[in-house]
Structure 1
Amino acid sequence: MTASLDIFATTSPAFTEVAPAAPQGPTLSLSKGQALSLAKAAPALTKVLVGLGWDARLTSGAPFDLDASAILLTAGRRVRGNQDFIFYNQPRHESGAVVHQGDNRTGAGDGDDEQIIIDLTLVPADIENIVFPVSIHEPGQNFGQVQNSYVRIVDTSNDKELARYDLREDASTENAVVFAELHREGGAWQFRTLGQGDAGGLLGVATGFGVQLG
């Protein structure tokens, strides 16, 4: 079992940086706790797509509504306010830096089921992290009942997939998982994998990062 990461700590967890894939090679497959330098993977990168995919559970084939979100955090890993919580009911950040492309309620079809576009040039200067939680909408369902779930990051200028992280069994009993994050340090961005579950659902994750709900 991979060690747990404290995603709600006010300091950043430790990550192991990995080298980018060769330009003509296969997509880089990341494991939990790894980081990819986007400056090394794509030096001219300015805009990325974060895609989420999943398939219905094996047990009955009943559809699952998974929701991808983005939460913008300061250096202390907390939001500045509720405007920094981007989800299906608030799909666009006020800066224009983060835009949720819409909710797929079933996961049907090939490819990404939900996508979030991030313009790195528009991210506010006091934001150092953008975390990407994925939550299951229906009560009584968890990630142990979903197969082939993943998160990937794509350079939108050429549609090249820079890296992919496949969720395995680390969060099989939870109904929310923070899959990954974008982290800014010294003006450069990293894509970092977290894979940390939370039994409190999207509400638990959002409030853990300081979002005020209710």
Structure 2
Amino acid sequence: MTHVMAKGANIALPVAAVRAVLRWSATPGAPDVDASALLLGPGGKVGSDADFVFYNQPRHPSGLVRHLPKQQSADGTEITDTVEAELGKLSAHVDRVVLAGSSEGGSFRAVGGLRLQLFDAAAGEGAPPLAEFAMADGDEVTALVAGELYRRAGAWKFRAVGQGYASGLIGLATDFGITVEDEGDTGAQPAQSQPPAGPPAAPAADPRTALPDPRPAGRPEPGTFTLAPAVPQPQAAAQAAPAPAGVPANTPPPPPNPPTVPPNVPPAPTAPPARQPGYGYPPQAPQQGGYGYPQQPAAPTPDYRYPQQQAPQQGGYGYPPPNTAPQAQQPPAPAAEEFALPPQGPQFQPR
């Protein structure tokens, strides 16, 4: 049985899902109507802009509230716009689902036969509606709340509202916490309020560019990769430095400063040159001892009448150096024979 409801009446809904259909007459030149739904929390506001389901946002993130495409009856006399809601699966923080409509191209006064019908979503096509609410006040409004589905003691009910908004869909959405930006208000200032951009200012002239380049020809530009010399030359660095302003480019650089010497520093003592022996004389041995000191015994004078055993040579010019390696112990030399005169000839024998 269909409940024909008056403004402000309510009924219980014994179903888990409903299909709300906004229906009006297809009158030529009449404004177009769009159905929408808003999911409200305990404070009567939406949790976010995603809780507003309409033709530009036809599906709630949960998928439990959907906006269906607009249709026209078979005989072409009526147009319908539909919203479906699965009430039994909605989150506990959703207390109400507002069923609204908006007109474009005129007010609802020019819309004939406007009414809201509530169906069981599980019933097939041709089933009678659960409730029907006709809105024929003809106010000069462009948006209205046709009805609302609300939760009461764990069960869902439907109330017929019929409240219009002269401010249109923007005023209705803002009233329930939706952030709406007016397309006509972009927030940009008119182009005339901004001063025209002039040509870019020329960079200030550098006074150094009027002077000739003080660097010698062939020297690389600053910042280029060159091999550094092995020994730094301060004079070349002084030539690479740019000449100060007001000094001709061909002026030679000042001579380098002489090395500084610490004042009052006496020269280091030098050893006297060694005394060289005279030509043709052997070098003299240093004097051993002196007045008041014992004299060193003089070396014995060799007797040239007898052969003397000479000391081994210690090497010299043209001779190999002595063998410093240790040698095996040699057997002792035999004792020298006693000296005897050779036999005398007859001229020396006594007669």
Structure-1-length-normalised TM-score = 0.77
Deviation sequence 1:64-108 (CA, Å, 0-9, x none): 210100000012110001010000000001111100002459xx9
The answer on whether the counterparts of 1:145 and 1:172 sit within 8 Å (CA) in structure 2 is no
Q: How far is the alpha carbon of 1:110 from its aligned partner?
A: 4.9
2:113 aligned residue: 148
- Return the alpha-carbon distance in structure 2 between the equivalents of residues 110 and 92 of structure 1: 28
The answer on whether the counterparts of 2:26 and 2:79 sit within 8 Å (CA) in structure 1 is no
- Return the alpha-carbon distance in structure 2 between the equivalents of residues 112 and 51 of structure 1: 10
The answer on whether the counterparts of 1:153 and 1:163 sit within 8 Å (CA) in structure 2 is yes
- Return the alpha-carbon distance in structure 2 between the equivalents of residues 95 and 142 of structure 1: 33
Seen in structure 2, the aligned counterparts of structure 1 residues 184 and 110 have a Cα distance that, compared at 3 Å, is farther
Letter in 1 for 2:139: S
Give the strand-richer structure, 1 or 2. Answer: 1
Q: Give the match's secondary structure for 1:51.
A: strand
Matched, 1:38 2:13: yes
Q: How far is the alpha carbon of 1:168 from its aligned partner?
A: 1.5
The answer on whether the counterparts of 2:12 and 2:157 sit within 8 Å (CA) in structure 1 is yes
Unaligned runs of 5+ in 1: 1-24, 40-44
- Return the alpha-carbon distance in structure 1 between the equivalents of residues 77 and 121 of structure 2: 19
- Return the alpha-carbon distance in structure 2 between the equivalents of residues 182 and 109 of structure 1: 30
Letter in 2 for 1:212: T
Kindly report the root-mean-square deviation, in angstroms, between the aligned alpha carbons of the 2 structures.
Answer: 2.0
Seen in structure 2, the aligned counterparts of structure 1 residues 152 and 97 have a Cα distance that, compared at 3 Å, is same
1:164 aligned residue: 132
Q: Give the match's secondary structure for 1:144.
A: helix
Structure-2-length-normalised TM-score = 0.48
Structure of greater relative contact order (alpha carbons < 8 Å, 6+ residues apart): 1
Aligned-pair identity in percent equals 35
The answer on whether the counterparts of 1:47 and 1:155 sit within 8 Å (CA) in structure 2 is yes
Bigger drift between 198-207 and 154-163 goes to 154-163
Q: 1:62 aligns with which of 5, 8, 29?
A: 29
1:102 aligned residue: 69
Bigger drift between 68-77 and 155-164 goes to 155-164
Letter in 1 for 2:98: V
Figure out how many residues of one structure are paired with residues of the other and give that number: 177
Matched, 1:127 2:94: yes
2:43 aligned residue: 76
Q: Give the match's secondary structure for 1:115.
A: strand
1:182 aligned residue: 149
